[in-house]
Amino acid sequence: MTMRFLTGILFLMFFLPNASGQVFTEKNQPYQYTITKKMVVDKGAVVSAHPLASEAGLLILKMGGNAVDATIATQLALAVVYPNAGNLGGGGFMVAQLADGNRLALDYREMAPGAATRDMYIDSAGVASTQKSQNGHLASGIPGTVAGLFESHKYAKLPFALLIQPAIELAEKGFAITESEANSLNYLQGNLKKNNTVMPVFYRSVPWKAGDTLIQSDLAATLKRMQKNGKAGFYEGETAKLIVAEMKRGNGLITEQDLKNYVAKWRTPHEFDYKGYRIVSMPMPSSGGLLLHQMMKMVEDRNLGAMGFQSPAAVQLMTEVMRRAFADRSKYMGDADFYPVPVSKLTDPEYLKMRMSSYRPDAPTPSTSLEPGNVNFHESEETTHLSVIDGEGNAVAVTTTLNGSYGSKTVVGGSGFFLNNEMDDFSIKPGVPNMFGAIGGDANAIHPGKRMLSSMTPTIVLKDNKPFIVVGTPGGTTIPTQVFQNIINIIEFGMNADDAINKPKFHHQWLPDELITEKGFLPKTTEAMKAMGYLMGKERGGIGRSEIILVRPDGKREAVADRRGEDAVAGY
Ligand code: GLY
């Protein structure tokens, strides 16, 4: 038994807010929650996809935790109250700017199992099966989230045993589900039946309805094993056995050795300057930071601000830089531990100037001539983001995912958590689009132990070396283009945080060759884009769900949760 664990138990015994050892008390018990979308506070704030998860983070801040503590507690709570994307069976990325000036990027992306092969989804006729890379046991990479939580805990102040306590309470006592959660669980039923060997708590014969209580006893037991045994409480022992047994029942690949070998990795954050701001984001194996860098640098000298928000000129310019960056993604980006991603070439000012040499302000550059640039080097959309800041000025941005909504749709029998379907984020065959329509090749081919390319873009914008914006969003390949718009909306169009994330968005990723707009996008601009020759995709009800904290010049924190979902802020 480690010293740290003993300290945790002592803390739980003597310092929890009530005698029963609970973090949620009468005052903020799980059944009573309201959704607060916006708050301006002096000290700390948490913004996440679920009010109970934000509340869990806030309780931890108020108990003396820092932003890292609150981030860990919020992620664990999301694994209970937001099973669509909050997870133990998935992976994610954390970017942090600490009050002491330290900058962190933690990679806990899933990894291909040891037995994975490059062509594992291609049949004898050469046909690639996205059905297999997206659903069921073969779709899962080795989960990274739990390793990431424990690795980031090095920068936390409170015992892990306490940080996991709100999640345990939410799983054990349950919480009332909302109408949209009920609808989403009802929609899932057929897939649960198809992809599970043991029917999980989410499966039932009568439809779910708003107000039903979701109690997750198996998940509570899994969380308690982590509370007792740390990282080994997940990657070894009972939970590991349950995962491997599930794999055997469903012909999946993950072994006990795969689980034991998994490590979260510290990376150097991807950083660049934009008009005096320092942008800190995620490097490979996420393409997010690099794409953001390319897009922002391609617009930096073009006076976007003067063009005006959602003007045809601004939308056209931003669309063209999105297309160029995504074309490069398809060829050059993948896990840099396995493939020499030419990051400095792709962000070289001369290269970006060359990429923009074919740009015309009144017409689309043909997609065929946007083929990835020659850099001459040698060799669901369901994710969730949380933004956190504390009173000391530590800021954390985390984006975490199962990939599709409820991941592979397979719950580990007896463990209560969904496994990811992240293998689909590899290029399963050159030119075959993944669930987000993204294509890839060698750089992102499957290899044992390799991490699949992501688009997640947890980002912190610094002003005078202090956090100014903490932001991120779910949305698959739309993530980098949304984070791009969120930041541009503030820096170039002078918007407040609320408008910056909630105004309708647009997206282009080179291929498929279509411009996607969100409901509410200016019809006049849509018409202008069509007139210039852009192919318009189907209008979407919502693009992503951004969570943002903006630090005002007087130090106050403006925290805003996206209006597209039940996302909520909590702060003090
Ligand atoms: N699974 C979505 C992403 O990582 O980009």
Q: What is the pLDDT of residue 387?
A: 98
pTM, to two decimals = 0.96
Please answer whether residues 382 and 83 qualify as being in contact, where contact means their C-beta atoms are separated by less than 8 angstroms: no
Q: Is the pLDDT of residue 454 over 90?
A: yes
The two tokens of residue 397 are 């941005």
500 phi/psi in degrees, rounded to 5: -55, -40
Q: What is the pLDDT of residue 25?
A: 76
Please answer whether residues 113 and 448 qualify as being in contact, where contact means their C-beta atoms are separated by less than 8 angstroms: yes
Pocket test for ligand 1, best of 425, 426, 439 (most atoms within 8 A of CB): 425
Q: Is the pLDDT of residue 376 over 70?
A: no
Q: What is the pLDDT of residue 341?
A: 97
Report in angstroms the alpha-carbon separations of 342 from 289, 291, 333, 335: 14, 13, 8, 12
How far is Cα 205 from Cα 296, in angstroms, rounded to an integer?
A: 50
Domains and CATH numbers, the chain: 267-380+455-571 (3.60.20.40)
Pocket test for ligand 1, best of 110, 282, 292, 383 (most atoms within 8 A of CB): 383
- Mind listing the pLDDT tens digit for each residue in 544-571? 999 999 999 999 999 999 999 999 999 9
Greatest Cα pair distance, the chain, in angstroms, is 69
Give the nearest ligand 1 atom to 109 CA.
4
Q: What is the pLDDT of residue 18?
A: 59
Q: Is the pLDDT of residue 9 over 70?
A: no
Length of the chain equals: 572
Residue 404 Cα to ligand 1 midpoint, Å, equals: 9
- Mind listing the pLDDT tens digit for each residue in 391-428? 999 999 999 999 999 999 999 999 999 999 999 999 99
- Mind listing the pLDDT tens digit for each residue in 456-488? 999 999 999 999 999 999 999 999 999 999 999
* CA dihedral sign of residues 20, 25, 29, 30: negative
Q: What is the pLDDT of residue 30?
A: 60
Please answer whether residues 137 and 247 qualify as being in contact, where contact means their C-beta atoms are separated by less than 8 angstroms: yes
DSSP string, 282-324: --TTBSHHHHHHHHHHHHTTS-HHHH-TT-HHHHHHHHHHHHH
Q: Is the pLDDT of residue 379 over 50?
A: no
Least confident range of 14-23, 146-155, 158-167, 206-215: 14-23
427 phi/psi in degrees, rounded to 5: -85, 105
Bridge partners for 470 per DSSP: 460, 549
Confidence at 1, pLDDT banded by 50, 70, 90: very low
Residue 456 Cα to ligand 1 midpoint, Å, equals: 6
Q: What is the pLDDT of residue 561?
A: 98
Q: What is the pLDDT of residue 375?
A: 82
Q: What is the pLDDT of residue 12?
A: 57
Ligand 1 residue neighbourhood (C-beta within 6 Å)? 383, 401, 403, 425, 454-456, 476
